[in-house]
Amino acid sequence: MHPAPSVIAFTTLSGAGFGLLFWLGLSLPDISGWVAFAVFAVAYALAAGGLMASTFHLGHPERAWKAFSQWRSSWLSREGVCAVATLLVMALYGAGLVFFDTALAALGWLGAALALATVFTTSMIYAQLRSVPRWKTPLTPVLFLALSLAGGALLAGQVSAAMALLLVAGVVQVLWWMRGDGALAASGTDMATATGLGRIGQVRAFAPPHTGGNYLLREFVFVVGRKHAAKLRLIALMLGYALPLVLLALPFGHAFAALAVFSHLAGIAVSRWLFFAEAEHVVGLYYGAR
């Protein structure tokens, strides 16, 4: 799949933003006044900024609002509904902290639950797709949720929780990669099953469907070299998980904490690029790409 920068920014930033809103909904950290305003501003900049970035990948961004009408059948629509509900509920909760020094616990818990629901619906946009075997696994929502909680814990200054969640997310990430590398072969999908002609003999393409480039080749048959993928995976693990863990283990300092956050976001951005670049869409079978 073509790794669009807007979608990479969306999944990286909004995941961390909604993760931070989750921890804030649990009153972690316990803040109020202008400190709360500043932390909520960061959460909203990441969450809402990531959501806005995702619209740049649409052919007609001005029509994005129409997605809300399909919530009964579309995970994309459910994501939009959950995201707006989260932002509204947490705005009310944050207003209580900023202006009245009051934490409405029930409202915070609801906002935290909605934040996790938003991340889950985002993950299901990909995990539901049978046409991309690498994505269609329960590990996809587990990975999205683990990364959101870990990134949110980092931003919220919950050091112990962040270290534990980074370890969990790192293990899930490696398991996701290991499972994904054999997902297309394990799915049993090939030219024979795609055409339904396997019962009469071996199926092969006599000629490519198109002699030139087209939309499908640009968007769904992106190929990343195996050596490059291995290097990028190592970079993602080092920046996204290992370096933040090392920095968190050092005596606390604001500079180390900030570096851990930026390192984590950079590493997750790399892993998100691989999430799309390594995804083998079955349409590639028609072009001999797999």
CA–CA gap between residue 202 and residue 219 (Å, rounded): 28
Instruction: Quote the Cα angle for 182-184-187, to 5°.
Output: 105
Structure tokens at 252: 């606390």
Query: Contact, 103 vs 31, CB < 8 A?
Result: no
Cα separations in angstroms, 59 against 82, 142, 223: 23, 30, 23
- The verdict on domain 5-287 having CATH code 1.10.10.1100 is no
CA–CA gap between residue 89 and residue 3 (Å, rounded): 32
Neighbouring residues of 246: CB distance < 8 A, sequence distance ≥ 6: none
Tens digits of pLDDT across the chain (290 residues):
677 888 899 899 999 999 999 999 999 999 999 999 999 999 999 999 888 877 666 666 666 666 677 778 889 899 999 999 999 999 999 999 999 999 999 999 999 999 999 999 999 999 999 989 999 999 999 999 999 999 999 999 999 999 999 999 999 999 999 999 999 888 887 777 767 777 888 877 776 666 666 666 666 777 776 778 999 999 999 999 999 999 999 998 899 999 999 999 999 999 999 999 898 888 777 666 65
Long-range contact list for 201-207, CB < 8 A, 24+ apart? 205/286, 205/288
CA–CA gap between residue 241 and residue 245 (Å, rounded): 6
